[in-house]
Structure 1
Amino acid sequence: MHKNFRWILKMWKTQKWFLLIMLVFTLGSSAVSIAHPLIFGKLIDLLRNILSDPGKYPDPMADVNRIIWILLALGGAQFFTGFYPAFRGWVNIRFENMLRMIYFKYLLDKDFRFFQKFRTGDIVTRLTDDLTDFSKISWFLCSGIFRAFNSFSLIAFSLAVMFSINVKLTLMSIASLPLMMLVFYLVSDKLYQNFDLNQKAISNINNQLEMSFSGIRIVKAFVSEEKYNRFFDAALQRRFETEMGVVKLNAVLGLIYQYIDYFAQIGVILFGGYMAVKGDITVGTFFMFYSYLSMMIYPLLDLPQLFVSGKQAFVNIDRLEEMKDFPTFNADWKGEKKLEKIESLRFENVSVTYPGKNEAAINNCDFSLKNGERLLILGSTGAGKSTIANLLMGLLKADEGRILVNETPLEELDLVDLREAIAYVPQDPVLFTGTVRENVLFAVDSADEQEYQTAVKTAQLAEEIAAFPEGEDTRVGQRGLGVSGGQKQRITVARALVKRPQLLILDDITASLDAENEEKLWQDINIHYPGISAIVISHRLSTLHYVDSVLFLDSEGRAHQGTHDELVFNNKEYHDFLHEHLK
């Protein structure tokens, strides 16, 4: 819990001036509210005294008018404090946007292990529902705490006035507070548990929705609508049950608090009325006490609500911090050495084993690549070909061995420089919602028209764009919806080329290119991007014509580098691999 308070203070420091205004608003609003019963009580006693003993007041209307002017002034002040809730809501939105930006930046630094643990729907829930709704983080940071502070200041000011008037009656008024605190203490752990289960159920719903819509073609192809509907119904039922658990507990707490306040109010009316009849207090004083007690009912309920909403907000804070604190090896990347040009690249006895796996993805891998050379990586499925690409881009860390760029260990290089020098085209092409042109220019802040057209032509995309209904302004849906697999792959190739990388990594893109388009691709790369280094992962043997050497990954994850002819004559497993594919 202490870490949650430190987190709140850290967030407050970013909005300290707005929170200072909130503090002034809160105290001003409480002071104006407290003044009304006090002035009205004085007015009642004045009118009663004037009626009972008129001779004592030679100019009674002057006294009455003075109090009325005070009330009018308080009414003017009340007008300005009426903007308090709107300002509070505005600050809530500032916190919401700020937190979403902060934690989204954290996510961009995570590696693949993070996204294996946290599914898309869960992440979306934590960045939306956990921040936005009533009693969630952004509301609690401002409205929740300042509403409670407003309630506390109202109670404190009221008690100060009440104690100054009559101690016994005041003690009667606050007798219920310890009981309220005891009730909350007894149920606080249950509250946290219920809120945590509810947020997990909401995340599960969003996961189900994300999987349903992203895989809708598979669902329909296998006629699995009814089956998936049952999955979704089960997830909805789980969410309903957890939300009902929260609602029931809140309802019981609210009912208990209301009855505690109700009996406290009856006690004050009976005890205060008896004192007024006896003459121990005036009618105006009794009115003030009753007004203050009525005024304190909602604040007394608001204070326990702070603890309830605080428990839920703490759950949401923990969920955000769980994502932020998830370990990533990029956080340990201390490299600062600038990379001007990739002159050479070398793997020395590099081994990688993925978490939860017993066998190494690559084992004692050795190979080298010089500037301008092209390397074809071949191997059976799961041999570790894509692992090499992830290592080069700093997306994965080697368990053993060294990766050297210009004879400098990879981890000593500036990570941004490294990634700017490399362009990667994944096996599964990833496009973003937007136009074709926006997707091609995604990796660059600006590019002249000639550079854009060169990348499009080289990727064999020019004719495809011309055939689109709106040309390069044709919109692409999420994950490339609306374009074919081959078109998606060509767009990703153009996206890689437009940044003119020093090293181009193509991960099995030829699966979406026919032999003719592959030949044209390499011819245009030779013309428009001379001297570019390339690592090509492919299953198509025709690619051998466009590379300088081959890196073959055998069944045990070991690497063998050489020309095609050298490997054919010296490596039986490579020979068998080719024979199998030629069949």
Structure 2
Amino acid sequence: MKSFELLTNYLKKNALLYLTAVILIILSNVDQALLPQILGKVTDGLKERSIGREDIIRYSLILLGIAVSYGVLFGLGQFTIMRLGRRFEFLTRGQIFAQFSRLSEDFFSKQGTGKLLSYVMNDVTSVREAISFGVTQTTNAVFMVISCVVMMLVTGIPVTLILVSVCPLVAIPFLVIYFGPRIRNRSMDVQEGLATMTESADEQIGGIRVTKTFAIEETAQRRFDETVDGVRGAQLHLVRMSSLFQALLPFLGALSLVVSLLVGGYMTIQGRMTLGSFVALTFYLRMLTGPLQQIGNVINMMQRSGASLERVNRLLARVPSVRDKDDASDLARIGDIAVDNLTFSYPGTSEQALKDVSFTIPEGRTVGLIGRTGSGKSTLAKLLLRIYEPPAGSIKVNGQDITRVTLESLRRKIGYVPQDGFLFSTDIADNIAFSDRSASIEQIREAAAQALLLESVNSFEAGFETRLGERGLTLSGGQRQRASLARGLMKKPELLILDDSMSAVDAMTESGILGNLIRERSGKSTLIIAHRISSVQHADEIIVLDQGRIVQRGSHEELMACPDGPYASLYRIQQEGLQHA
């Protein structure tokens, strides 16, 4: 089945190790199956007084040897299988993370972090348990049953009695057919519920500061409790079904023991079977009770892991909406960027975020992009990065259709600094040198100086080794933006895109950063997206967007020469705001 491809491929690659482990467990079961036979002989010998002290010692040593060899064989087999299970867990989590790296923005916009973590944690763990504990218990159960039946025949127990005794066990396949699909469906509900709960926990913990600020701890608790209650309901639904199934299996084992006691006891009284054989029979049937319980555990486990495996396979089978075309080639250089009649709507929406947008960024020039919130500025940046796929032929870099170049070669040549640049929970130096792990501290200091972050870093006791809190909360909003800007400058990209990345800094700091940018980016292409005119007024060309369309374009002086235009109007509003500040 396609849904089991991930698991079957792994089992095939490690078939020899699994086979070795299974053989070790089989041998341990054969070893253990000898115990009732020896006990039967001892019972007959004691009844007939045909064994003495030396025989008792010999049989005791044999039993001890069996116990030791069983422990060694089963232990080695179980260790091998458990190690293989852990390796599967490690490899699959790596595959999932790699898939996350490949998937496009539209996937993550519909998935919460908690749900994504649930794939890595809950689902992979469930499958790992199935191919470790499940394989061990299945092998142990199946071959324990076979070993017990063979040994019963060897011991001299009549075939008729064996058939009558194990007759209740014939009902097991029918129970599996009935309960299996029901347990699987309910297991799927539980896994989905756990994913939702993980997402809720991640959201509530991530927003704990907002919760405290608004004093709505009780509301947050109630929302989380509702999610947990939903998981509890799904789990109880599963437990009721799986518990009934697991209770019926030991009942069948006990019923089998009752039948053997009635029939076997009668045959022993009639002299058709020795007392030792009857004792061996009861021991063998008791030994079969454990495998029955294991079969129930394994079936429950397999159904739960089947649901998890199906979720993981669906994730790994997803194809990124933005990916390299078959004929894609590496981009040699960014060169001139030409946007031609670009019209774009986000997936799942009919509203056009950009409408017939056309402009050019000549190589080495700086272009400013300004407009109201929702005018399409950030959308354009995402299309240049191919975070979303633009229409074929609408954007060309160095004369090549951007959809026909490889994603890696394109993105390696672009530095993108968003408004809310994400900082990792490492030290400042590591965040700045994110694109170049081999960077020297001098290079890191230079990038920090260009972003006017160096003075702030020097004020920290640990300097560049200062560890940041989650999402960089150790720093202020302006410091986080400047750290993100330093990271973009550290890359020294052919095209630098600043997406409102100085909105949290004051006017004087912004002016200093812009001065550094003009010097550092001389001869290099730069796209500055902003709300504030002060961020773009030095640009070679300024493009004004409104409702996805270009409504004005030109230099600062040219745009200001149209006093009734949207650019000049925005300039006056912002100047009045500064005067009243």
Q: TM-score by structure 1 length?
A: 0.91
Question: Could you tell me whether the CA contact under 8 Å between 2:96 and 2:316 is conserved in 1?
Answer: yes
Q: Shift in Å at residue 336 of structure 1?
A: 4.6
Distance 2:490 2:366 in 1: 19
User: Structure 2 residue aligned with 1:147, among 105, 119, 137?
Assistant: 137
Q: Shift in Å at residue 192 of structure 1?
A: 2.2
Q: Shift in Å at residue 495 of structure 1?
A: 0.9
Question: Could you tell me whether the CA contact under 8 Å between 1:349 and 1:400 is conserved in 2?
Answer: no
Matched, 1:541 2:533: yes
Q: Which runs of 5+ in 1 are unaligned?
A: 55-59
Question: Could you tell me whether the CA contact under 8 Å between 1:437 and 1:473 is conserved in 2?
Answer: yes
Root-mean-square deviation (Å): 2.6
Q: Shift in Å at residue 265 of structure 1?
A: 1.0
- Which stretch shows the higher mean deviation, 389-398 or 455-464? 389-398
Q: Shift in Å at residue 207 of structure 1?
A: 1.7
Distance 1:14 1:67 in 2: 43
Which position in structure 2 is the counterpart of 1:405? 397
Which position in structure 2 is the counterpart of 1:447? 439
Which position in structure 2 is the counterpart of 1:130? 123
Which position in structure 1 is the counterpart of 2:37? 38
Change (3 A) 1:425 1:95: same
Query: Matches of residues 251-400 of structure 1 in structure 2 within 5 Å?
Result: 251-334=243-326, 336-399=328-391
Which position in structure 2 is the counterpart of 1:188? 180
Question: Could you tell me whether the CA contact under 8 Å between 2:144 and 2:288 is conserved in 1?
Answer: yes
Q: Shift in Å at residue 406 of structure 1?
A: 1.0
Q: Shift in Å at residue 262 of structure 1?
A: 1.1
- Which stretch shows the higher mean deviation, 248-257 or 425-434? 248-257
Question: Could you tell me whether the CA contact under 8 Å between 2:528 and 2:536 is conserved in 1?
Answer: no
Report SS of the residue matched to 1:434. coil
Distance 2:205 2:421 in 1: 18
Distance 1:64 1:230 in 2: 68
Distance 2:415 2:274 in 1: 85
User: Structure 1 residue aligned with 2:225, among 215, 223, 233?
Assistant: 233
Q: Shift in Å at residue 505 of structure 1?
A: 0.8
Change (3 A) 1:506 1:294: same
Percent of pairs with identical residues: 26
Distance 1:513 1:434 in 2: 23
Change (3 A) 1:108 1:14: farther
Deviations 1:463-512 (A, max 9, x none): 01011232111111111112100010011011111121111111101211
Which position in structure 1 is the counterpart of 2:73? 81
Query: Matches of residues 83-102 of structure 1 in structure 2 within 5 Å?
Result: 83-84=75-76, 85-102=78-95
- Which stretch shows the higher mean deviation, 205-214 or 35-44? 35-44
- Which stretch shows the higher mean deviation, 435-444 or 547-556? 547-556
Which position in structure 1 is the counterpart of 2:514? 522
Distance 1:321 1:382 in 2: 37
Which position in structure 1 is the counterpart of 2:108? 115
Q: Shift in Å at residue 82 of structure 1?
A: 4.8
User: Structure 2 residue aligned with 1:421, among 409, 413, 423?
Assistant: 413
Distance 2:213 2:283 in 1: 69
User: Structure 1 residue aligned with 2:204, among 212, 227, 237?
Assistant: 212
Deviations 1:83-118 (A, max 9, x none): 244444333322222221111111111112111222
- Which stretch shows the higher mean deviation, 361-370 or 72-81? 72-81
Report SS of the residue matched to 1:536. strand
Distance 1:425 1:237 in 2: 41
Q: Shift in Å at residue 420 of structure 1?
A: 1.2
Deviations 1:352-407 (A, max 9, x none): 21123221111222221122111111122111111111112221101454321111
Question: Could you tell me whether the CA contact under 8 Å between 2:500 and 2:529 is conserved in 1?
Answer: yes
Distance 1:205 1:329 in 2: 28
Question: Could you tell me whether the CA contact under 8 Å between 1:364 and 1:401 is conserved in 2?
Answer: no
Distance 1:26 1:19 in 2: 11
Aligned length: 572
Change (3 A) 1:450 1:548: same
Which position in structure 2 is the counterpart of 1:57? none
Deviations 1:276-314 (A, max 9, x none): 222222223222222211111110121132221111101
Report SS of the residue matched to 1:475. coil
Distance 1:232 1:317 in 2: 27
Matched, 1:459 2:451: yes
Which position in structure 2 is the counterpart of 1:26? 25
Q: Shift in Å at residue 513 of structure 1?
A: 2.1
Which position in structure 1 is the counterpart of 2:579? none
Distance 2:71 2:151 in 1: 24
Which position in structure 2 is the counterpart of 1:172? 164
Distance 1:547 1:468 in 2: 35
Distance 1:93 1:263 in 2: 38
Change (3 A) 1:520 1:4: same
Q: Shift in Å at residue 576 of structure 1?
A: 4.9
Question: Could you tell me whether the CA contact under 8 Å between 2:324 and 2:404 is conserved in 1?
Answer: no
Distance 2:335 2:324 in 1: 26
- Which stretch shows the higher mean deviation, 345-354 or 456-465? 345-354
Deviations 1:196-229 (A, max 9, x none): 2222222222222211221222222222212112
Report SS of the residue matched to 1:330. coil
Q: Shift in Å at residue 527 of structure 1?
A: 3.5
Distance 2:90 2:559 in 1: 57
Change (3 A) 1:240 1:186: same
Q: TM-score by structure 2 length?
A: 0.91
- Which stretch shows the higher mean deviation, 283-292 or 550-559? 550-559
Matched letter for residue 106 of structure 2:
R
Matched letter for residue 142 of structure 2:
F
Question: Could you tell me whether the CA contact under 8 Å between 1:350 and 1:399 is conserved in 2?
Answer: yes
